[in-house]
Chains A and B, each alone.
Chain A
Amino acid sequence: QKEVEQDPGPLSVPEGAIVSLNCTYSNSAFQYFMWYRQYSRKGPELLMYTYSSGNKEDGRFTAQVDKSSKYISLFIRDSQPSDSATYLCAINRIQGAQKLVFGQGTRLTINP
């Protein structure tokens, strides 16, 4: 079993829709959770970072963590064509940029 599972998609939605992206993980030792966004032919860039259960908002983006279910989500409200990218979840056992475990990534397309 992989440490982090993420549906690779692809996922295609109309502009303005609410998007939900999800990952599950297997080890309760993981404490820090991140979402990276990767545009085509670019390197991943950090989008959201959280270490506690609950929600964290940043503009149109909300990261949600449920440690009891080992389930993390990223919600995008009022999705825009510029949000079209691959979204990767990443998790870590300890604070600090050490050995991250990445999900497969979900390819998202927002259609105008």
Chain B
Amino acid sequence: DAGVIQSPRHEVTEMGQEVTLRCKPISGHNSLFWYRQTMMRGLELLIYFNNNVPIDDSGMPEDRFSAKMPNASFSTLKIQPSEPRDSAVYFCASSSRDTQYFGPGTRLTVL
């Protein structure tokens, strides 16, 4: 299995632009998680889905952030409009039981 796939791996954009991060979970996994990692705040859970349904989005920082999972093999995290404080590494993870498998991350820089 290819593992969790994220794209793009790097994204540099200007403040105010829309950013869309993409994730393909491991086939057969029914849970999907979006995390954000920064030096200051560490690894923070933004939102997670079970069977494509959002279960807990309490970690989403504000309305500028939205996430969707239209089917079992694809999810997006969108930031609109983006701000410099959104600069971070965004990870997607998927799981079927006890173990979360992380993707390689998307390094986002907002200028």
Which chain A residues have a beta carbon within 8 Å of chain B's beta carbons?
A: 32, 41-46, 49, 88, 95-100, 102-105
A97 and B104 contact, Cβ closer than 8 Å, known pairs A88-B43, A105-B43 = no
Q: Give the residue of B4, B56, B98 whose beta carbon is less than 8 angstroms from that of A99.
A: B56
Question: Chain A residues near B85 (CB, 8 Å)?
Answer: none
Stretch of B11-19, B60-68, B69-77, B89-97 at the chain-chain interface: B89-97
A105 and B102 contact, Cβ closer than 8 Å, known pairs A97-B95, A97-B97, A99-B48 = no
Query: With the chains together, A41 CA to B100 CA distance in Å?
Result: 18
Q: Give the residue of A43, A95, A96, A102 whose beta carbon is less than 8 angstroms from that of B103.
A: A43
B28 lies within 8 A of chain A by Cβ: no
- Beyond A49-B99, A97-B95, 12 additional contacts (C-beta under 8 Å) are A32-B98, A41-B104, A43-B103, A43-B105, A44-B43, A44-B91, A45-B101, A97-B31, A97-B98, A97-B100, A99-B48, A105-B43
Question: Chain A residues near B101 (CB, 8 Å)?
Answer: 45-46
Give the shortest distance, in Å, between A53 (CB) and chain B (any CB).
18
Question: Chain B residues near A95 (CB, 8 Å)?
Answer: 98
- Please tell me if the beta carbons of B100 and A46 are within 8 angstroms of each other in the complex: yes
